[in-house]
Amino acid sequence: MIVLGIDTSCDDTGVGIAQGNKVLANSVASQTAIHASWGGVVPEKASREHLSVIDAVVDEALATAKLELSQIDAVAATYGPGLVGALLVGLNYAKALAWSLGKPFIGVHHLEGHIASSLGAAQLEPPFLCLIASGGHTSLFAVSRWGKYEELGKTRDDAAGEAFDKVARLLGLGFPGGPELASLAETGDDQGVSLPMPLRGQGGYEFSFSGLKTAVSVLLQKQPELNKADLAASFERVVVDSLIDVVVRASAATGYTDVVVAGGVAANQRLRRGFIDAKLNAFFPPLSLATDNGAMIALAAHYKLGQNSNWLRDAQPYLPLDASLRSSASS
Ligand code: KG4
Ligand code: ZN
């Protein structure tokens, strides 16, 4: 079965094509340059841009896969969570395409897509843990089998990538701030600045990053002469340590030793080293699959091919993964 998957949940227009676990194409039109001057994603601009490029991105994916539209067996799209106007573009495009081809339409939860991204690059079978750390999400899932995901914990406030972006902004760096902050951090002393470890000693599997960001902001106001590279390195150390600490405890509690790390923060080299140091068997899908993309939606859709198309599935900006599974079981 060949599935075309679309993701327009935030600021990337992603169209991918997968045949089983094989990714045949994965085209992404990035809007980073459009939003950079605003310091963050502007929802209305994101929707308009998705609308103007989606046709071309679908054509590019088909050309890469050397396929005609008539060879597509099903069309899938993210229906939530995400920016509602952005979601609507990909979702309605996918429904219209599927309808016109007389093929099934499959709605996919964005985080289920991230979890399935590991399929495109490795023969990793459940059980495993999946840490999703991006600009919009920071969640840890226990995947006992495909289609069965338990959210062990998520962030109480900012996502990890969002914290990188906000602290980068405080340091006068560009957007998105993660890569710039990480390269500044390489030149600094990671013990140079004392910062609070989020949720220290509280147990559980939640994350929190907004207090850390506020601590950086207060420090910079009080001591503007502070060495920025040391501050970046110390901030990065605390974020990474806090992510790894939660995953290590979850691994001990579940007995799962394989960990898939998805989302843009997976690009962080310190995080990658941290998993090795913690002796966890971490798997990092290639970045083209780890960040938002359409191929992960096509991969996830393969597990839903038996389900009926749900043409009435609407865009849902707020959508916990467990709740979406309950509703799809009853639909
Ligand atoms: O998954 P992603 O591409 O999409 C969104 O959630 O929008 O993740 C982007 C996030 C941004 O917040 C970016 O700053 C962060 O991933 N990021 C990084 C690094 N590269 C990207 N954070 C830390 N270190 C990096 N090297
Ligand atoms: Zn995402």
199 in the same domain as 89: no
Distance between Cα 223 and ligand 2 center (Å): 35
168 in the same domain as 55: no
Q: Is the CB of residue 57 less than 8 Å from the CB of residue 28?
A: yes
> CA 187 from chain center: how many Å?
28
Half-sphere exposure of residue 318, counting CA atoms within 13 Å on the CB side?
Answer: 0
Share of the chain above pLDDT 90, in %: 86
State both tokens at 292: 């938002």
Report the pLDDT value the prediction gives residue 136, as an integer from 0 to 100. Answer: 94
Q: Per residue in 264-276, pLDDT tens?
A: 999 999 999 999 9
Residue-wise burial string across 174-200, b where 16 or more C-beta atoms lie within 10 A, e elsewhere:
ebbbbebbbebbeebebeebebeebbe
Supply the CATH number for residue 30's domain. 3.30.420.40
Determine the Cα–Cα distance for residues 66 and 84; give it in Å rounded to an integer. Answer: 32
Residue 67 pLDDT greater than 80, yes or no: yes
Residue 105 pLDDT greater than 80, yes or no: yes
Residue 263 pLDDT greater than 50, yes or no: yes
Average pLDDT over residues 135-143: 96
Determine the Cα–Cα distance for residues 289 and 299; give it in Å rounded to an integer. Answer: 10
Distance between Cα 272 and ligand 2 center (Å): 19
Asked if residue 188 has its Cβ within 6 Å of ligand 1, the reply is no
Share of the chain above pLDDT 70, in %: 98
Ligand nearest to the CA of 111: 2
Longest dimension (CA), the chain: 64
Asked if residue 268 has its Cβ within 6 Å of ligand 1, the reply is yes
267 in the same domain as 189: yes
Three-state secondary structure call for residue 151: strand
Residue 331 pLDDT greater than 70, yes or no: no
272 in the same domain as 169: yes
110 in the same domain as 129: no
Report the pLDDT value the prediction gives residue 118, as an integer from 0 to 100. Answer: 87
Which phi and psi (to 5°) does residue 258 adopt?
A: -85, 140
Distance between Cα 28 and ligand 2 center (Å): 13
Report the pLDDT value the prediction gives residue 327, as an integer from 0 to 100. Answer: 61
Q: Is the CB of residue 236 less than 8 Å from the CB of residue 185?
A: yes
Beta bridge mates, 259? 129, 282
Q: Is the CB of residue 22 less than 8 Å from the CB of residue 6?
A: no
Which among 164, 244, 273 is the best mutation to test ligand 1's pocket, defined by most ligand atoms within 8 Å of the CB? 164
Report the pLDDT value the prediction gives residue 39, as an integer from 0 to 100. Answer: 82
Report the pLDDT value the prediction gives residue 323, as an integer from 0 to 100. Answer: 65
183 in the same domain as 64: no
Determine the Cα–Cα distance for residues 220 and 29; give it in Å rounded to an integer. Answer: 36
Residue nearest atom 26 in ligand 1 by C-alpha distance: 268
Closest CA to 72 of 138, 17, 15: 17
SS3 content of the chain, % helix, strand, coil (to 5): 45, 20, 35
Report the pLDDT value the prediction gives residue 119, as an integer from 0 to 100. Answer: 83
309 in the same domain as 226: no
Average pLDDT over residues 24-30: 98
Ligand nearest to the CA of 266: 1
146 confidence band (pLDDT: 50, 70, 90)? confident
Asked if residue 85 has its Cβ within 6 Å of ligand 1, the reply is no
CA 46-49-55 angle, 5° bins: 130
Report the pLDDT value the prediction gives residue 86, as an integer from 0 to 100. Answer: 98
Report the pLDDT value the prediction gives residue 321, as an integer from 0 to 100. Answer: 87
Q: Which domain holds residue 28?
A: 2-116+290-330
Q: Is the CB of residue 149 less than 8 Å from the CB of residue 321?
A: yes
Q: Is the CB of residue 196 less than 8 Å from the CB of residue 215?
A: yes
Sign of the dihedral through C-alpha 83, 89, 92, 98: negative
Beta bridge mates, 105? 75
280 in the same domain as 295: no
314 in the same domain as 267: no
Residue 201 pLDDT greater than 90, yes or no: no
Asked if residue 113 has its Cβ within 6 Å of ligand 1, the reply is no
Helical axes 84-101 vs 43-65, angle rounded to 10°: 30
Ion ligand 2, residue ranges at CB < 5 A: 134, 292
Residue 81: is the preceding peptide bond cis (ω within 30°)? yes
Closest CA to 88 of 300, 301, 314, 291: 314
328 confidence band (pLDDT: 50, 70, 90)? low
Ligand 1 atom closest to Cα of 176?
14
Ligand nearest to the CA of 139: 2
Average pLDDT over residues 237-244: 98
Count of domains observed in the chain: 2
Q: Is the CB of residue 137 less than 8 Å from the CB of residue 263?
A: yes
Asked if residue 291 has its Cβ within 6 Å of ligand 1, the reply is yes
Cα separations in angstroms, 88 against 80, 166, 217? 9, 27, 36
Ligand 1 atom closest to Cα of 292?
1
303 confidence band (pLDDT: 50, 70, 90)? confident
280 in the same domain as 147: yes
Residue 310 pLDDT greater than 80, yes or no: yes
Which among 32, 117, 265 is the best mutation to test ligand 1's pocket, defined by most ligand atoms within 8 Å of the CB? 265
240 in the same domain as 155: yes
Ligand nearest to the CA of 290: 1
Mean of the per-residue pLDDT values of the chain:
94
236 in the same domain as 179: yes
